Amino acid sequence: MRFNRPFEIGLLAALTVIFCWIACLIPLKYLELIQISWEWLLVCAFISGLFTFFVVSWSVNRFLYSKVKLIYKTVLSQKIRKDTKRNISLNPRLLDEVHNTVEDWVEVNNNEIEKLKEQEAFRREFLGNLAHELKTPIFSVQGYILTLLEGGLEDQTVNRVFLERAANGVDRITAILEDLDEITRLESGRTELNLRKVNIVDLARECYENLEMRAKEKNIELQFNHKYEKPIYVICDKEKIAQVFNNLLVNSINYGKPDGKTDIRFFDMEEKILVEVADNGLGMSQEHLPRIFERFYRVEKSRARNAGGSGLGLSIVKHIIEAHKQSINVRSTVDVGTTFTFTLDKAK
């Protein structure tokens, strides 16, 4: 039995005192060392126990229990601070409740601290990656401009070439900032989707036809896995999903093997359409897959930067799909290929 309330603690103390009275005075009575009747002995023990009960109960409630209540209220109010209308109700067995509540509170706060540490590490990594991504084109532009100012501007053989290279560097910086701005809008919910009925087959065909010339430079074939003669209608923002296809196809081209191929597939899943963009390119090891949608995350940093792009393409893809309240996943094997899958609601 656990004694948690002032009443129970006082009762335990009273019974202890009564027992001590009886245990000590009965031997003295038998030895006739004290001259007191049995009735008075029991009355004294009862009065002592009653006095102890009230003193201990009052003391516990006044000096200890009230402090525990205050701590409990503070902890509990922190747990429900988001729900201001909820009334704080104290269980009569307060010490048990305090123990359980404090354990839960400590666990929640430890989890929050771990999340804050992860967010802080992510923030530092993100800022470092952003600085690195911007540093390369900025230094490039700076070098070309300084060369032109130091006399290269009058040299007809290099001035136009250097200006074009500087312009390319500025375009890369602009692309990074525009992609960051788009991710920020998607995360904050400021981007409104223009949802409508779209033939996803025609949309995918338009996207890969626009990239065919780029794919041919690496002898990569873009195709459907088989002929889709009937339209497949989904509800989506056409421009945003076109951006998803473009980013995934460009990714497959950049990291595909020469003479490789990229397939686009569609699967009917009752109320949804599953879309796959699969290539037989370089692939990725399993350790990279949980982070592949992070901003500026590079599987192989040097090779990825040489391939171009802002490093934000897959992050934008993830945010667009999530804005449609859908999910995107990736599976990949080194030297076998990579497959991205996402879902869209089927048009009724």
Q: How far apart are CA 234 and CA 248, in angstroms?
A: 19
Tens digits of residue pLDDT in 232-286: 999 999 999 999 999 999 989 988 888 889 999 999 988 999 999 999 988 888 8
For residues 69-97, one letter each, b for 16 or more C-beta atoms within 10 angstroms of the residue's C-beta and e for the rest, the string is eeebeeebeebeeeeeeeeeeeeeebbeb
User: Vertex 107, ends 102 and 109: CA angle to 5°?
Assistant: 90
Span 120-128, average pLDDT: 68
Tens digits of residue pLDDT in 305-316: 445 556 788 888
Is the per-residue pLDDT at 86 higher than 50?
no
Provide the pLDDT for residue 166.
Answer: 87
Give DSSP secondary structure letters for 70-95: HHHHHHHHHHTTT-TTPPP---SSHH
Nearest alpha carbon to residue 255 among 171, 344, 330: 330
Q: Is 267 helix (H, G, I), strand (E, B) or coil?
A: strand
Q: How far apart are CA 227 and CA 238, in angstroms?
A: 22
Q: Are 328 and 342 a contacting pair, CB within 8 Å?
A: yes
Taken in order of first residue, the domains within the chain and their CATH numbers are 6-90 (no CATH), 120-188 (1.10.287.130), 195-346 (3.30.565.10)
Q: Are 345 and 235 a contacting pair, CB within 8 Å?
A: yes
Residue 331 to residues 35, 279, 310, Cα–Cα distance (Å):
94, 11, 22
| Tokens describing residue 253 | 């081209």
Q: Where are the beta strands (DSSP E) in 180-336?
A: 195-199, 221-224, 233-237, 261-269, 272-279, 328-333
- The amino acid at 1: M
Q: Are 45 and 18 a contacting pair, CB within 8 Å?
A: yes
* High-pLDDT (> 70) share of the chain, %: 73
**Backbone φ/ψ region at 343: left (φ over 0), alpha (ψ -120 to 50), beta:** beta
Provide the pLDDT for residue 241.
Answer: 94
Provide the pLDDT for residue 85.
Answer: 44
Tens digits of residue pLDDT in 172-217: 888 778 878 887 777 777 778 899 999 999 999 999 899 988 888 8
Chain-centroid distance of CA 341 in Å reads 20
Q: Mean pLDDT for the chain? A: 78
* 287 HSE (CA, 13 A, CB side): 3
Is the per-residue pLDDT at 5 higher than 90?
no
